Structure 1
Amino acid sequence: MPQGLPRKIRYAFVVQGLLLVLAVVFGVSVLTLFTRDAIVQQRLLVEAEAFWERVAADAPRPPLPRTRTLDGHYRPAGRDVPVPPEVESLAGGVSYDYRAHRAVLVDRRPEGELYLVLRTDTLDQLMMASAAAMILVGLLAAVVITTLTYRKSRRMVLPVNRLAEEVARWDPSHGDLTAPLVVSGFVEEPSREVRALSHALHGLAGRVADFVQRERDFTRDASHELRTPLTVIRVASDMLLSDPDLSAYGRRSLERIQRAARDMEAVIDAFLILAREGGIAPVSEEFEVRDVVLEEVEKARPLLGDKPVALAVSGEASPRMFAPPAVLGVVLRKLLVNACHFTERGNIDVRIEPDAVTVADTGIGMSPDTLRHVFEPFYRADAFSPLGKGFGLTIASRLARRFGWELLLDSEPGQGTAATLRFAPTPAA
């Protein structure tokens, strides 16, 4: 039987059945006890009234009720007639001794004292048999009603549970989006609600797939279209930089243009990689991590300008990785850009380890609250800061997750930040 909602319903009906059984047993037991006591009391009161009527008729010796189950004792007023001590000491009214299967009526009047002792063993057996029969009938009725109700509820809920299982196994990117989900395995036709839910889920999946495809198409097309003007900008700036008569101010401006163009190319590369998410993966190859690190460090040096900051590579490890080198370059570029922007003095250490690359700086650092939101798109601790748009670490984090890497940040305000990209290196041949 499928798990989930049907199992919960089964447990609910089991608990309901047990409670119903307890209620039936308790109710029948209490009803039997009250009925037995009412019959006994009525019998004793009728016998007592009949005896007192005979006394009132001035019978010389009114006969006491004596049968196989009833025994009577009478002590007239002013006479000393022996009475069994176990009944003489009882208070007036009807007393019950369930263990001895006995009931005693003590009726004290001015005419005398009447003691009636009724043996109830036969009545108790009859009442117990009746109670057992009622309990059995009640239990059978409870079982039948619970079973029928459970089966009906199960038939109503099971299609929904099957539909949930189909949704959990359904991959819209590989499945047929032209037809709704099919809930099979039932003799009866699924209910109108289940069919409506199936069509609604199908429609939602189709709309989501269309939205994702439009986003990927836009990202891919926009990224490709942006490459042409960027190529023009880079070629034109290279030609201007080759002019020996260019002023120092113009040279610095062109270098800033070239750095901005390289940053834009990095963003485009990241967008193109992320646009392939769930589709064709970028071409992977085996390469030396150190080569990519050294290349990105050299590209980042101009970002420091005249800042008293030392940018260096440390670590003797030489890990190799099987992945797209451009992806690792984009991630490291984002980390290095952040380190260069937010470090005014001190040093930036790029440490290469056997299974990780760490970019540690002595910059302004981040508070714990900033660290909790740092991977959110467009989040910036200082909304008025001209440095960055709050999107670099988001791209780096998405790229790392895309290829199974782990990006960790450790930072303290005023002490600096250490960003660690942990990966699984390729084993040495």
Structure 2
Amino acid sequence: MAAAVTAAAPPNLTSPRFHGWREKPTFSLSPTTLRFFRNPSRTKHLTQVLALVDEQQQQQVSFTEEENSLVEALIGIQGRGRSASPQQLTDVERAVQALESLQGIPDPTSSSLIEGRWQLMFTTRPGTASPIQRTFVGVDFFSVFQEVFLRTNDPRVSNIVKFSDAIGELKVEAAASIKDRKRILFRFDRAAFSFKFLPFKVPYPVPFRLLGDEAKGWLDTTYLSQSGNLRISRGNKGTTFVLQKKTEPRQRLLSTISTGTGVKEAIDEFISFNQNKGIGEPELQEGEWEMLWSSQEETDSWLENAANGLMGKQIVKENGQIKFVVDILLGLKFSITGTFVKSGTTTYDITMDDAAIIGGQFGYPVELESKFKLEPLWYRTEVRWANQTDRRSKFQVISKAIRKGETSIFVGNGVSLGALK
């Protein structure tokens, strides 16, 4: 997906090592090249993960070029659209319109491909959304699905919030009917929780009859793929929905991050799939990595502990310099800069020894030193040109660091520093 990348000139700070950090870029990722790295040892570790590919499931999901443009636009977005930048929203809408112009299955409501359980990948959220709709599209921490079953004695469209495999789900059902080749009419009439630890359903207390027109509406399917795996729908409240039956592996990782559960397990699963598929000698890739999720154990440093869970970025430069920058609060940043040296076939020695609290143009030095080993495990990249002067390299990488038996995980997306110069 093409994306605008802008950067403001950095202020000159006290230490020259603090020079060169830039404003947060807007970017996303596209798949073309895969490069797999060796499986790490089972030592307690600091793991930095910026993408996840389950090769087995990847082979099961295929898209046309136009469909892939939409999938790529969605991959860089968290929260099913809530956290999307204006540029990302523009890219998604452009991809949606391109598919709608192709039409896909001509009569989607008459096709058996529309039936089944669909996962909600993206939605716009107009202020006019009904209370029932907001119950689902406003939930970022759980997976959201829609079930469509029209060829039964009791046609239904249901919205589902899945809390987890261990807990259960909330299902709100609507009686449905087909109006024409694209439109489904519906009226919500019942809802219940299904908990794994209970043998019965728990009613969800919504007075559907009292909601009147708020409990009914229509849903137009403006695109249904020939594979039956991708669907675009628009609702009577002006909402656009993008849904999939099977998701692309990186989408599954971001979905896992959104729920905050199972990320470590997802990483271990990825490594186990790819432990024998190393291609070439892994290298620490130059670039700027934006963290999307982190989980880190306590260390000996109060400052590092205070920064745990905060979002930031890692910057790797060709000159052997590496930097971590974390937003703290009220415009303050924690920055620590160091060096990396290749120490083995697959590992790097990292020394971080130049730290500071930064506020505006001023930096307050902090005594802090940290040493650890970094091992790249997996890497992929695409180079894309928006125009002759705008060359963008977008990266995903998985790497593991070992430091005093501590365990941490970082998840994020990356863009090359060359795109920011």
TM-score (norm 2): 0.20
Q: Which has the higher contact order (CA 8 A, sep 6+)?
A: 2
Structure having the larger proportion of residues in strand? 2
Structure having the larger proportion of residues in helix? 1
